[in-house]
Amino acid sequence: MPAAETARDRSEPRLRQVAFFLTNRLGSLRRAMQLLTDQDVRIGGISVLESADHAVVRLVVDRPDGAVDILTGAGYGACITEILGVMLPPGPRFGMQRVLSVLLGAEVNLWYVYGLILQAEGHPILALQADDLEMAGRVLLGNGFPLVGQDDLHWPEPEGG
């Protein structure tokens, strides 16, 4: 089955993550975020993986396509990847240990995980990337973890508007 058919047939929602490279210099993250803020792109989650000379920044934003256009126009190497957003149950442990356990039980290898600033229906959201996103989605849904798609994110109204 061609990849396009597989993507079209999947039932679980996905988040669209913007990823870009950044030089590891004082103020470079702030400058990149300012570019997005100046164009009214709202950030709902961020992860920064830093090394000696560069960083990989991953963002969940309200307008992923617009964010990529802004960043690439400013000379950053940017792309969009699909990730899973998992709504965690309430409580002091937020169910993160259970998410990790059910994925481990299904032998799904996680590449990275980070929490979003946004919530869904008052619940924390965990963003994750895995070696088999289809399997991860099925396992999580099968174990009672609702998945959150890009259209499910609720963005607070900007101040003064």
* Residues 94-141 pLDDT 10s: 588 899 999 999 999 999 999 999 888 888 999 999 999 999 999 999
d(Cα 22, Cα 76) in Å, to the nearest integer? 7
> Do 88 and 111 belong together in one domain?
yes
> Do 21 and 76 belong together in one domain?
yes
Q: CB of 58 within 8 A of CB of 47?
A: yes
Q: Which of 56, 81, 106 is the last residue of a domain?
A: 81
> Do 147 and 125 belong together in one domain?
yes
pLDDT of residue 54: 86
Q: Which CATH number covers residue 69?
A: 3.30.2130.10
Q: What's the whole-number average pLDDT of the chain? A: 88
Question: How, if at all, do strands 15-23 and 54-61 pair?
Answer: antiparallel
Question: How, if at all, do strands 147-148 and 15-23 pair?
Answer: unpaired
pLDDT of residue 10: 54
> Do 135 and 111 belong together in one domain?
yes
Residue 123 dihedral angles phi and psi, to the nearest 5°: -105, 145
Residue 1 has pLDDT above 60, yes or no: no
- What is each CA distance from 158 to 40, 42, 43, 161, in whole angstroms? 9, 9, 12, 5
Residue 161 has pLDDT above 50, yes or no: yes
d(Cα 60, Cα 126) in Å, to the nearest integer? 11
Q: CB of 44 within 8 A of CB of 116?
A: yes
Q: Which CATH number covers residue 115?
A: 3.30.70.260
Which domain, by its residues, includes 42? 15-81
> Do 143 and 118 belong together in one domain?
yes
> Do 73 and 88 belong together in one domain?
no
**Does residue 158 lie within any of the structural domains?**
no
**Does residue 42 lie within any of the structural domains?**
yes
Q: Which of 61, 81, 101 is the last residue of a domain?
A: 81
Residue 157 has pLDDT above 80, yes or no: no
Biggest alpha carbon distance in the chain?
Answer: 50
Run of H or E including 56: strand 54-61
Tens digit of pLDDT for each residue in 85-102? 999 987 666 588 899 999
Question: DSSP character for 76?
Answer: -
pTM attached to this predicted model: 0.85
Q: Tell me if residue 44 falls in helix, strand or coil.
A: strand
Q: Which of 58, 81, 104 is the last residue of a domain?
A: 81
pLDDT of residue 3: 42
Tens digit of pLDDT for each residue in 9-31? 556 799 999 999 998 888 999 99
- What is each CA distance from 72 to 58, 76, 156, in whole angstroms? 14, 5, 26
Looking at the structure of the chain, the number of domains it has is: 2
Nearest residue to 128 (alpha-carbon basis) of 83, 158, 92: 83
Tens digit of pLDDT for each residue in 44-80? 999 999 887 889 999 999 999 999 999 999 999 999 9
> Do 49 and 65 belong together in one domain?
yes
pLDDT of residue 4: 41
